[in-house]
Structure 1
Amino acid sequence: MATFDPFPSLLLSVSRNPVTSIGLPLAFGVLSGLPSTTAVQGQWYKSLEFPPGGRPSNRLFLTVWPFLYAGMGYASHLAVKAYDESLDSPTKEDAAYALKLYYIQLGLNFAWSSLFFVAKKPGLALIDITALTGTVACLTKLMHGPTNGVSTYLLVPYCAWLGYTTYLNAGIWWKNRTRQIPKID
């Protein structure tokens, strides 16, 4: 029987513990959210044109994201449990690949705020969030079997939210692509 070495054991260890598996994305979320809290008050963000239905309150974002981060973190915990407990090679492979995608999506998620709010590059942020949304959809599908569908309940809200935020990002990019927007706040 083949053994699968998905990535450094430190990353497996983080997700093995339910507290650290939830804490890591929450910490990433706080760090990636710091630039946005200042930027949404700035001239650049306030001058952007948004797509229809596209200027949700900042409070909505602050309320939704912690739940999404906790859900994705616990889903990673369930995937590691499935990886550790499975004797079935395809199940173990799916769990390992999903975990790789999980850590990739954390990086893409973290990068998005810097691209959009710090660099003020909605076009580059759109590329990032499109890759992020695809990655999360794929990992949701891959985690479904190994976790007996439990991770799907945790990740589907994240997928839906990413669909909405991808729409917002695309609309902002499209509506502002030819405008001269001051980049200094």
Structure 2
Amino acid sequence: MKFKPVAFIVNIAITLGIGAIGSLATSSSVRTWYPTINKPSFNPPDWVFAPVWTTIFILTGIAAYLVWIKRDKIVHFPRTVAIYLIQLILNLAWSFIFFYLHEIGFALAEILILLLVVLVNAFVFYKIDKWAGLLFIPYILWVSFASILNYNLFILN
């Protein structure tokens, strides 16, 4: 397939845009509320989160691009897009639930749903394009870790 630079950039911009919107809910709480709650010993330093999420959003955008360029060959392309969009919305919602609303328990339930949808998304993408599915591995690993972290934050607070 011929490389489509505009589509490539748009797909990455969408995921980075979601991340940027999520950071609006996160930024003030990272300075005010989050430092005041009890954290487990394995809680990463704050500076780790931005580069990890940026990398994940870029990889997810590349995966979406790899699927998008094959859209004419995908029988259920609207369903594929819906799964992808639901995953992005759930990702964004977690930031608001956890950091803006300070609802650690609700965020835990939500992140478990997010993890399930990310797994489904990775599987669906993998069936369309092997690399698109494999690019979700860091996302799966990070959301799995974030789920464990969220659970421990819930228990400690």
TM over 0.5: yes
Report the identity percentage: 26
After superposition, residues 83-94 of structure 1 pair within 5 angstroms as 83-84=71-72, 86=73, 92-93=75-76
Match of 1:174 in 2: 155
Match of 2:8 in 1: 18
Root-mean-square deviation (CA), in Å?
1.6
Give, in angstroms, the shift of residue 96 of structure 1.
Answer: 4.1
After superposition, residues 90-105 of structure 1 pair within 5 angstroms as 92-93=75-76, 95-105=77-87
The SS at the match of 1:125 is: helix
Aligned with residue 81 of structure 1, among 59, 65, 69: 69
Computing the radius of gyration from Cα coordinates, the structure with the larger value is: 1
Give, in angstroms, the shift of residue 52 of structure 1.
Answer: 3.8
Per-residue Cα deviation, 1:21-64 (whole angstroms, up to 9, x for no partner): 1001101101111232221111x3222122341x2111110111
Q: Which has the higher helix share?
A: 2
Match of 2:34 in 1: 45
Give, in angstroms, the shift of residue 139 of structure 1.
Answer: 0.9
The SS at the match of 1:65 is: helix
Once residues 21 and 136 of structure 1 are traced to their aligned partners in structure 2, the CA distance between those partners, rounded to angstroms, is: 17
Once residues 142 and 96 of structure 1 are traced to their aligned partners in structure 2, the CA distance between those partners, rounded to angstroms, is: 12
Match of 2:89 in 1: 107
How high is the TM-score relative to the length of structure 1? Answer: 0.77
Q: Tell me, which stretches of 5 or more residues in structure 2 are unaligned?
A: 1-5
Once residues 129 and 45 of structure 1 are traced to their aligned partners in structure 2, the CA distance between those partners, rounded to angstroms, is: 18
The SS at the match of 1:145 is: helix
Aligned residues: 152
Q: Is 1:127 aligned with 2:117?
A: no
8 A contact 2:124–2:133 mirrored in 1: no
The SS at the match of 2:135 is: helix
Q: Tell me, which stretches of 5 or more residues in structure 1 are unaligned?
A: 1-15, 177-185
Match of 1:7 in 2: none
Aligned with residue 99 of structure 2, among 108, 114, 117: 117
